Homo-oligomer: A and B are copies of this chain.
Amino acid sequence: MASSSTFKTLFVLILLWILLPSGHQHHPLDPLTPSELAQIRTIVKGWNPGSTHNLTFQYVGLEEPDKPTILSWLLKHPTKTPSRQAFVIARVDKKTHEIIVDLSTHLVISDRIYTGYGYPLLTFEEQTAANALPLKYAPFIASISKRGLKLAEVVCESFSVGWFGERRRSKRVLKILCFYLDGTENLYVRPLEGITVVVDLDDMKITEYYDRFVVPVPKADGTEYQASKQKPPFGQRPKAITVVQPDGPGFKIDGHTVRWANWVFHLGFDIRAGPIISLASIYDIEKNTFRRVLYKGYVSEMFVPYMDPTEEWYYKTYFDAGEYGFGLCAVPLEPLTDCPANAVFMDGYFAGQDGKPIKISNVLCVFERYAGDVMWRHTETGIPGKVIREVRPEVSLVVRMVSTVGNYDYIVDWEFKQSGSIKAVVGLTGVLEVKGVTYTHTDQIKENVYGTLLAENTIAVYHDHFLSYHLDLDVDGDDNSFVKAKLQTTRVTDKSSPRTSYWTVVKETAKTESDARIQLGSDPAELLVVNPNKKTNVGNNVGYRLIPGSSAASLLSDDDYSQIRAAFTKYNVWVTPYNKSEKWVGGVYADQSRGDDTLAIWSQRDREIENKDIVLWYTLGFHHVPCQEDFPLMPTLSAGFELRPANFFESNPVLNTKPPKHVVWPNCTTKVQ
């Protein structure tokens, strides 16, 4: 007769067999699967038997194996995958717990109470609960009534509160602002200005309430963006257009490993970062091997400060990744519109507040991009009697996520080129955050309104968007250096040349972190990450170049509290030595953070970065002065940067890449729907 404990063990084993994914072996960087998330929930709940009703999962993500473990796994692959672990941030009895769960032993292997400043990511569930509170709160109902508005048309949203030098530790609170539908579904453009509700999330109750003034709610007319709500005259409808690949896509996705042309990389998903590109390597035909480029790339933080110091607006200094979850806010991508017809989609999973797995369908798409561009070309007419023309069209691979953080939609692209470039582009669209005012015409405005009057009673407040990318480049190996190749004007004063000036390149290798902080636009320089231990045949250091697009750095003063929290926005470029714990440039606990765990703080140690495993942090910025075209919904505004091989290859790596075959459509009965 089996004892009770033997029976229990057998049960657990069967359960495991059901829950664990069969068939394909995990890549050690694969995001947590639904069954793993379920397992984590069981383990964590089992670990806190007394507090189940007070336990919320604020973040559940993969606790990655150490970098050497990953690299050695990759080298000896296929072999046993390193044990799977998860990092959980939970709130248990109003305390923040950092829990590490081991999925092979089913044990909590560490549980630490975090006592520092700042709070973890906000869950959807607690925001939803908080948003519902005003609608049953008598003073709020009275405010709505006073304004002659219908309560049923009011919807509320959650806004993080920031930190403004308060010494006393604040409770875990949100501010709730409300909006008015009544004839539109574009809620953000109809703010109930003047009303602020403060909700304590741990007690889930309203702790403060302000109704400071009444201004008109901007009108609903002209604010709808849905096709079904539009009225004629319509803009000219573009003719049907699509991308076609009759032989199917040129890439293969095996689990989370993407192989395309000369690239291979791992594509993960995290509710904080969104897409995570790992282990991107490029095949070098000449060397007949894959060579490492990017160990890891992701959006570490996004800082969105608004520029209105008044009572209702001063605190709007959002950390979209650390507060709201850039991946958590990812929306299902719509086939044929969000991604072209030749896209392949991937689902994403995360743990809900109760720990149960939740799916985001189509959270990422992967597609080959053909925009009619030219990869390289030349027409040669210099040889008498001959005309040579060689043209290679550009086909690249794009990985896309769209994250809708409340009103704003961020289109996040990673683009891989056959030539070895990796481009990151972010597109901003969606709805502006606007402020209700009494003004209906700019002539009435005699004070600073901190924004643009976009429509009657509607000011779109000036703001910035700063996206900071973690770029752990491992250019042809772990140890790299950061080089500023400065372009310096040289005067010719000795009559040795008819020229009186030219520029030359003076390369400076950054020794320590302070050498590598750069505000773009100051001095002309090429920025390179090189492998000082690898040279090309003719002796150049193997490297990759960072090509910034148009960018911006923060204009806030250094002692501004929001700037202290988002100190990474002070420079566009930082370089640090690799440190597994340094992931989130605004700190692990960004909500109400006080700037004690930021890139700027880590970097104060001024560590050595020459010929080390280094991480490049690039911050892309937009200063946004809204204009009327951004209303009621803004056309996409994009910016990005490129990592481009610079003496990484011996020569043009796409010289002998054959162009794609031409497509001919002889017998199509096409339909346009």
Contact = CB atoms under 8 A, between A and B. Distances in A.
B388 A539 contact: no
Interface string A506-550: 000000000000001110101000000001111110000101111
B660 A241 contact: yes
Given A394-B636, A406-B382, A652-B633, A243 B242 contact: yes
B670 A240 contact: no
Nearest to A664: B671
A240 B391 CA distance: 15
A666 B524 CA distance: 54
B391 A338 contact: yes
A450 B504 contact: yes
Interface stretch (A86-94, A192-200, A362-370, A609-617): A362-370
B539 A240 contact: no
A629 B419 contact: yes
A633 B657 CA distance: 13
A556 B450 contact: no
Contacts of A522: 521
A144 to B, nearest CB: 16
B244 A242 contact: yes
A393 B243 CA distance: 12
A377 B501 CA distance: 50
Nearest to A389: B334
A669 interface: yes
Interface stretch (A20-28, A467-475, A485-493, A591-599): A485-493
A257 interface: no
Interface stretch (A11-19, A64-72, A105-113, A424-432): A424-432
Interface string A382-421: 1110101111111100100010101001010000011111
Contacts of A496: 309
A658 B248 contact: no
Interface string A337-360: 111111100000000000000000
Interface magnitude class on chain A: 35 or more
Given A308-B502, A453-B539, A155 B371 contact: no
A498 interface: yes
A374 B155 contact: no
Given A376-B634, A526-B625, A658-B237, A498 B164 contact: yes
A379 interface: yes
A49 interface: no
A673 B661 contact: yes
A504 B459 CA distance: 14
A489 B464 CA distance: 13
B656 A231 contact: yes
Contacts of A663: 240-242, 341, 670-673
A376 B441 contact: no
A548 B545 contact: no
A672 B376 contact: no
Contacts of A632: 651-652, 655
Interface stretch (A77-85, A202-210, A640-648): A640-648
A5 interface: no
A560 B377 contact: no
A473 to B, nearest CB: 16
Contact of A452 (B498, B540, B545, B561): B540
Nearest to A656: B230
A116 interface: no
Contact of A655 (B230, B462, B491): B230
Contact of A666 (B310, B332, B368, B669): B669
A459 to B, nearest CB: 10
A74 interface: no
Contact of A372 (B309, B369, B656): B369
Contact of A651 (B500, B560, B629): B629
A143 interface: no
Interface centre among A226, A452, A487, A538 (most CB of B within 10 A): A538
A373 interface: yes
A448 B488 CA distance: 13
A631 B402 CA distance: 37
Nearest to A454: B538
A148 interface: no
A227 interface: yes
A378 interface: yes
A252 to B, nearest CB: 11
A1 to B, nearest CB: 54
A382 B406 CA distance: 7
A660 B673 CA distance: 9
A628 B657 contact: no
A535 B441 CA distance: 10
A667 interface: yes
B635 A441 contact: no
Interface in A140-198: 155, 157, 164-165, 179, 181, 185-187
B238 A368 contact: yes
Contact of A388 (B185, B377, B462, B667): B185
A619 B658 CA distance: 35
B497 A374 contact: no
A566 to B, nearest CB: 12
A337 B394 CA distance: 9
A625 B497 CA distance: 22
Interface in A11-65: none
A338 to B, nearest CB: 5
A550 B547 contact: yes
Contacts of A186: 380
A375 to B, nearest CB: 6
17 contacts: A155-B384, A185-B386, A187-B383, A231-B656, A233-B288, A233-B656, A234-B285, A242-B370, A334-B389, A376-B636, A442-B539, A500-B559, A500-B561, A501-B560, A547-B550, A633-B652, A662-B672
Sorted nearest first, the 10 A-B pairs with minimum C-beta distance are A521-B521, A235-B657, A442-B539, A371-B371, A309-B497, A164-B498, A239-B250, A340-B372, A337-B391, A246-B670
